[in-house]
A and B are shown apart, each in its own frame.
Chain A
Amino acid sequence: MTAAKAVQAFVDTVDAAAASYMEACVHCGQCARACHFYETNDDPRLTPIYKLQPLVKAYKRHKAPFSGLRRMLGLVPAEVTEDELNEWSDLVYDTCNMCGRCTLVCPMGIDIAAMVRKVREGFVAAGIVPEGLTGAADRAINIGSPLGIKPETLRKIVNEQVEEVGIPVELDKEGADYLVILSAMEILNFYEVIGALARIFKQAGVSWTISTEAYEATNIGIQMGDKEIARTLVGRIVDAAEKLKVKYVISPECGHAYSALKWEGPNLVGRPYSFKVVHILELLDQLQREGRIRTRGKDARRVTYHDPCQIVRRGGLVSQPRSILNSVSDGFVEMKNAGVANICCGGGGGVSSNPRAEDYRIRAFASKKKQIDDLQGVEALVTSCANCRNVIEEAIDAYGMDLPVLGLTELLAEYLEPDGGGEPAKPAEA
């Protein structure tokens, strides 16, 4: 019966776009060459298009043009079984970041990454989801954050940052222009970003606030393919933003959060927002261009930039992080294939919240490592996704590398011109 639920979900999820993707595939195998999981495992099963097999079979059996005629001739594929779904579970959840490099390489332009999301919807319907993800989803729904961060914890962390930088942050401030939401990883591991934002926004004269009702940007529903959960989580942000009557919601340095809020959110809640969604990189870039952010000095280290897939390849923000980075760095070098074709960290799309996938994730980083090694000595890696940052830090440990990973917002804040001139900024990590 579980399989039947999945099949129903598969069939329901296929629209004209998905159908044209499945109809157009010529089994050329180019997508395999784009996948960092395939590359680092050398396993034919990990070919991106092969990961869609259960969905393709259900579609061909029940929904494709001529499926009636084919059924009469006995030419449709067999019904998807529960065993098959279990067998595919690691392909769908453990070895795909939905990073979309396969989409880029496909001669037919098939959006395989988006299709994997649809496959996951079927797996959710059948209840075949890795425990790591369901656990995170429970915490997100019941506590408010996939990492279990409660409002009290948030208050405590914000207060620490307020003391650290000496700038007050008003929580739940009605009528502020911008609502800042954060990814769980930022709140727990990279909380300096709150202080950094406070300093930047003070200089730029931006009115902003953080809500204690909706502070969590990550959307585990989007990652695991559960539309209901995704809708609930986006709904919280929408409610809070509308309650506080903000004009903008700032999507933080987090990849899937941006996709969830900006591109999928309105479709999930079923109406356009009353506010605009702006990514922190877009905002910082705009403030810089308007001359509202003034920096002094530049970081002399040789640094490179890791493009988070959902922000760059799937989000369209390529030039903004580069112009921000160039404004505070003298030694910025690009990796090979930087920009839209950059290789994923290996932890996106829920893979990092899925302990079962850890081996795969660490191994997939070898592709990223090669990109870094090819630069022959960079002193720091900058990125703009807290999840990428955490995943890369863990992998760097596992590979015994020595490379600091920096967040772009924090790096920018390091080089802000101090109020009224004053002494030059200190180098990052000093």
Chain B
Amino acid sequence: MTIVQIIEGPLWYIAAAVFVIGALWRIIGILRLGRRTDLSVPRSAAFPGAVKALFRHMLPHYGFFNRTKLHVFAGYLFHIGLFVVLFFAAPHVAFLKEHVLGFGWEAMPHWAFIVSAQAAFAGLILLWFRRIADPTMRQISDADDHIGSWLTFIAMLTGCLALQESNASLRALHMLTVEIWLIYFPFSRLMHAFTFVLSRGYTGIVYGRRGVTP
């Protein structure tokens, strides 16, 4: 078995398994802690509040936009770009169809891929720069923040370097970095891609019960 075959074969399955099991373990580990029933009399229902908060915190709050615009701009740029690339790049759609899901969907054209990848790179560079340049960001950042940023950057970069789709080594390099990223994911802050539902939801329950419209 060549190294390329290992990367695209067993290592892929190991990485995917670590990712899925690890992420589930962590989410169950959080939920398992449970919450005591709230005995106070709610002003309005909790569940709609949770749903509202889930979407409300996706948008910058009107009261703060002016103070956070650089971060909001870079954050959107990166996340939207990454999301689009992840799920609509032609090679990704084909890969998900053949190896993961069994069904596919319309992939985006090449130019759209380039634009969204560029947005993702631009956003990530700006976000990471802010992390190292702002004293406040330095104060609250730890190794995990930097490793997560860099692994994501490298995984994205190797993907884009393999764009010519003419070289198995380049493709395998991208696979390898993505596998490292997947294995790192459940143990790191990258998990926020899932845990945001919990944190926004729990706060939304409080909003909902108290009748607060954030």
A–B direct touch, CB within 8 Å, in complex?
A: yes
Known: A24-B192, A316-B43, A340-B212. A32 touches B206 (CB 8 A): no
Structural contact, B43 and A272, CB atoms closer than 8 A: no
With an 8 A cutoff between CB atoms, is A33 at the interface?
yes
Instruction: Name the distance in Å between A276's Cβ and chain B's nearest Cβ.
Output: 7
Instruction: For chain B, give the interface size range.
Output: 35 or more
Chain A's closest residue to B207 (CB) is A316
Total interface residues on A, CB under 8 Å, equals 60
For A38, list chain B residues within 8 Å (CB): 136
With an 8 A cutoff between CB atoms, is B33 at the interface?
yes
Structural contact, B68 and A15, CB atoms closer than 8 A: no
Structural contact, A104 and B61, CB atoms closer than 8 A: yes
With an 8 A cutoff between CB atoms, is A179 at the interface?
no
For B131, list chain A residues within 8 Å (CB): 27
Interface stretch, picked from A105-113, A122-130, A413-421, is A105-113
Structural contact, A66 and B187, CB atoms closer than 8 A: yes
With an 8 A cutoff between CB atoms, is B5 at the interface?
no
Structural contact, B138 and A44, CB atoms closer than 8 A: yes
Bound complex: CA of A33 vs CA of B138, how far in Å? 15
Instruction: Name the distance in Å between B129's Cβ and chain A's nearest Cβ.
Output: 13
Structural contact, A109 and B71, CB atoms closer than 8 A: no
With an 8 A cutoff between CB atoms, is A28 at the interface?
yes
Structural contact, B142 and A27, CB atoms closer than 8 A: yes
Within 8 A of A (CB), among B38-92: 38-41, 43, 53-54, 56-58, 60-64, 67-68, 71, 75
Structural contact, A29 and B196, CB atoms closer than 8 A: no
8 Å CB contact of A266 from B40, B53, B205: B40
Bound complex: CA of A347 vs CA of B212, how far in Å? 22
Chain B's closest residue to A112 (CB) is B203
8 Å CB contact of A65 from B25, B58, B75, B210: B25
With an 8 A cutoff between CB atoms, is B169 at the interface?
no
Structural contact, A33 and B67, CB atoms closer than 8 A: yes
Structural contact, B136 and A29, CB atoms closer than 8 A: yes
Within 8 A of B (CB), among A250-270: 262-267, 270
Known: A65-B25, A277-B41. A21 touches B139 (CB 8 A): no
Instruction: Name the distance in Å between B156's Cβ and chain A's nearest Cβ.
Output: 18
Chain A's closest residue to B64 (CB) is A105
Structural contact, B30 and A16, CB atoms closer than 8 A: yes
Known: A16-B35, A29-B134. A276 touches B198 (CB 8 A): no
8 Å CB contact of A267 from B30, B38, B201, B211: B38
With an 8 A cutoff between CB atoms, is B10 at the interface?
no
Query: Interface readout for A1-26 with B: 1 if CB under 8 Å, 0 if not?
Result: 00000000000001111011101111
Chain B's closest residue to A338 (CB) is B63
Bound complex: CA of A110 vs CA of B198, how far in Å? 9
Known: A16-B32, A266-B40. A24 touches B67 (CB 8 A): no
Interface stretch, picked from A45-53, A136-144, A286-294, is A45-53
Structural contact, A65 and B203, CB atoms closer than 8 A: no
Centre residue among B34, B56, B199, B201 by max chain A CB count within 10 A: B199
For B171, list chain A residues within 8 Å (CB): none
8 Å CB contact of B39 from A47, A267, A314, A316: A267
Centre residue among A27, A34, A38, A47 by max chain B CB count within 10 A: A27
Instruction: Name the distance in Å between A221's Cβ and chain B's nearest Cβ.
Output: 16
Instruction: Name the distance in Å between B210's Cβ and chain A's nearest Cβ.
Output: 4
With an 8 A cutoff between CB atoms, is B99 at the interface?
no
With an 8 A cutoff between CB atoms, is B97 at the interface?
no
Known: A106-B57, A267-B40. A30 touches B63 (CB 8 A): no
Instruction: Name the distance in Å between B139's Cβ and chain A's nearest Cβ.
Output: 4
With an 8 A cutoff between CB atoms, is B110 at the interface?
no
With an 8 A cutoff between CB atoms, is A341 at the interface?
yes
Chain B's closest residue to A103 (CB) is B203
Known: A16-B202, A262-B40, A272-B41. A341 touches B26 (CB 8 A): no
With an 8 A cutoff between CB atoms, is B158 at the interface?
no
Instruction: Name the distance in Å between A91's Cβ and chain B's nearest Cβ.
Output: 12
For B40, list chain A residues within 8 Å (CB): 262-267
For B138, list chain A residues within 8 Å (CB): 44
With an 8 A cutoff between CB atoms, is A165 at the interface?
no
Structural contact, B139 and A45, CB atoms closer than 8 A: yes
Known: A26-B192, A340-B213. A109 touches B199 (CB 8 A): yes
8 Å CB contact of B26 from A47, A65, A109: A65
For B140, list chain A residues within 8 Å (CB): 27, 29, 44, 47, 49-50
Provide 15 A-B residue pairs closer than 8 Å at the C-beta atoms, listed in order of the A residue. A17-B35, A19-B33, A21-B202, A23-B198, A27-B140, A64-B29, A66-B26, A105-B64, A105-B68, A108-B196, A108-B200, A109-B196, A110-B203, A262-B41, A263-B210
Give the B-binding residues of A (Cβ under 8 A): 14-17, 19-21, 23-30, 32-34, 38, 44-45, 47, 49-50, 63-66, 70, 101, 103-111, 114, 262-267, 270-273, 276-277, 313-316, 318, 337, 340-341
